């Protein structure tokens, strides 16, 4: 997302539930921050085709990191390493005490790539960077998924994690995501045009955006874990970053953040059990944890609803049994289709005139799938969205004294209305 047209919006928007214009309080407690820099040696060769310019930007980036005592991890998509000159830039990162991590070869999108081709690209990048480091007495330890996308199916997720385990690489997640890369082209354009007024506006917008990201996503992590959380900040190797990081890092220190190395930050329990998140878009670690908790709550709430509904049926309370259906619910059986809760209640009353006719009902959930999608914040970050609905495949079993059990399958579609779940479609057979 481009920020040139959003400066006014940013002044009024605070994330993580804050009201418009509300300030975030200073973070409470110590928040160690690991700085990670993607797309080394330079994010955009198209914008910076000149080797001397890439060397200048690299020098400026390393200088600001040194000023603030930061030991970073730089992630390298090996396709961006164009030869000896670019390898020399990576050597400067190593000489400055930073680690280099694998960021694939060609930066593929896992959501659009089959596992075999995707892992082949990742392995190609791993092998090249590992050889580069070995020749300089180093070892490859870290990996980051391109676009933060770890797999849009459970099978993809499992295959990628198995590959990481086989190759001894630790996946480094992100807790503070942002759109810093989107400032690079307008910044370079303005700098080359000597447009000082536009550079000043871009500087202001950059600082506003990044500061909001830092505060909002730190607050999210603290709320989820109930403590001061370590953070992993994602940045990109850009000219605008080289110009803006000094002010950003100084501000972060003033708000109580402390820069730390990967050994300290990644050892925190928050990073030891990565969520089994499956989705087209990645998002931050905090967003994935929050999504997992929303899924757990949805499953528990729906299970409780079906348990209550079974109990209502078993005690002969059709009014309460049907109360969980939406007013416009649709009920489908081999005998036909019924529309609306009142008509459904009438149908049940006709078929089951008393408790003896109803018997005892049991519902066994076979599969539950939450209905959700990615949501894009006002700052342009894609995060797992709220859960708006769910589908349930269940087996029903009806027991009546002196009769064999009746059983079958049902497919339920539920939607959430505030904190309440309602059945909107029921196909029973």
More confident residue, 429 or 247: 247
Domain that residue 353 falls in: 290-428
Indicate whether 18 pLDDT > 90: no
pLDDT at 13: 39
pLDDT tens for 317-372 read 999 999 999 999 999 999 899 999 999 999 999 999 998 899 999 999 999 999 99
Indicate whether 138 pLDDT > 90: yes
DSSP string for 356-396? HHH-EEEEEEEEEEEE--EEE-TTS-EEE----EEEEEEEE
User: Average of pLDDT values for 108-123?
Assistant: 98
In a domain, 140, yes or no: yes
Indicate whether 239 pLDDT > 50: yes
Number of domains in the chain: 2
pLDDT at 27: 82
Indicate whether 295 pLDDT > 90: yes
User: Average of pLDDT values for 78-96?
Assistant: 97
Q: Give yes or no: residues 312 and 391 share one domain.
A: yes
In a domain, 21, yes or no: no
Residues 113 and 4: their CA atoms lie apart, in Å, by: 32
pLDDT tens for 385-422 read 999 999 999 999 999 988 999 999 999 999 999 889 99
pLDDT at 419: 87
Q: Tokens for 263?
A: 């050994």
Indicate whether 1 pLDDT > 60: no
The domain boundary residue, chosen from 221, 256, 282 = 282
pLDDT tens for 19-37 read 455 566 678 888 999 999 9
CATH code of residue 354? 3.10.450.50
Q: Give yes or no: residues 208 and 320 share one domain.
A: no
The domain boundary residue, chosen from 226, 259, 282 = 282
The domain boundary residue, chosen from 282, 313, 340 = 282
Q: Which of 174, 231, 179 is nearest to 205 (CA)?
A: 179
Indicate whether 16 pLDDT > 80: no
Q: Give yes or no: residues 258 and 335 share one domain.
A: no
Q: Give yes or no: residues 236 and 375 share one domain.
A: no
CATH code of residue 255? 3.20.20.370
Backbone angles phi, psi at 278, to 5 degrees: -120, 125
Beta pairing class for 336-339 and 99-102:
unpaired
- Give the DSSP letter of residue 176: B
3 in Cβ contact with 378 (< 8 Å): no
In a domain, 6, yes or no: no
In a domain, 1, yes or no: no
In a domain, 164, yes or no: yes
């Amino acid at each position: 997302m481009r920020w040139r047209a959003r400066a006014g919006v940013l002044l009024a928007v605070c994330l993580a539930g804050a009201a418009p214009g509300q300030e975030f309080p200073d973070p409470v407690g110590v928040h160690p921050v690991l700085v990670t820099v993607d797309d080394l040696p330079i994010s955009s060769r198209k914008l910076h085709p000149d080797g001397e310019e890439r060397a200048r930007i690299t020098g400026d980036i390393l200088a600001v990191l040194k000023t603030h005592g930061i030991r970073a991890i730089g992630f390298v998509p090996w396709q961006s390493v164009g030869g000896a000159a670019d390898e020399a830039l990576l050597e400067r990162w190593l000489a400055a005490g930073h680690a280099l991590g694998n960021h694939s070869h060609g930066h593929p999108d896992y959501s659009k790539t089959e596992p075999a081709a995707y892992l082949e690209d990742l392995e190609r990048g791993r092998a090249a960077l590992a050889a580069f480091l070995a020749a300089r007495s180093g070892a490859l330890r870290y990996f980051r998924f391109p676009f933060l996308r770890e797999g849009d199916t459970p099978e993809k997720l499992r295959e990628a994690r198995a590959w990481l385990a086989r190759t001894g690489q630790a996946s480094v997640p992100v807790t503070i995501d942002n759109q810093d890369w989107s400032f690079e082209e307008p910044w370079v354009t303005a700098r080359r045009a000597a447009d000082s007024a536009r550079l000043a506006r871009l500087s202001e917008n950059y600082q506003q955006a990044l500061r909001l990201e830092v505060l909002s996503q730190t607050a999210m992590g603290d709320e989820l874990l109930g403590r001061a959380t370590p953070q992993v900040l994602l940045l990109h190797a850009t000219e605008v970053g080289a110009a803006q990081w000094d002010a950003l890092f100084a501000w972060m220190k003033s708000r109580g953040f402390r820069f730390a190395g990967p050994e300290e930050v990644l050892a925190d329990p928050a990073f030891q059990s990565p969520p089994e998140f499956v989705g087209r878009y990645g998002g931050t670690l905090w967003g994935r944890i929050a999504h997992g908790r929303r899924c757990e709550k949805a499953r528990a709430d729906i299970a409780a609803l079906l348990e209550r509904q079974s109990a209502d049926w078993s005690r002969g309370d059709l009014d309460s049994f049907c109360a969980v259906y939406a007013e416009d619910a649709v009920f489908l059986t081999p005998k036909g289709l019924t529309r609306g809760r009142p008509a459904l209640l009438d149908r049940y009353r006709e078929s089951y005139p008393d408790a003896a006719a109803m018997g005892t009902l049991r519902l066994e959930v076979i599969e539950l799938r939450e209905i959700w999608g990615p949501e894009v914040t006002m700052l342009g970050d894609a995060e797992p969205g709220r859960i708006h609905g769910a589908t349930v495949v269940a087996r029903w079993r009806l027991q009546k004294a002196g009769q064999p059990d009746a059983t079958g399958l049902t497919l339920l579609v539920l939607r959430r209305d505030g904190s309440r779940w309602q059945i909107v479609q029921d196909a029973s057979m």
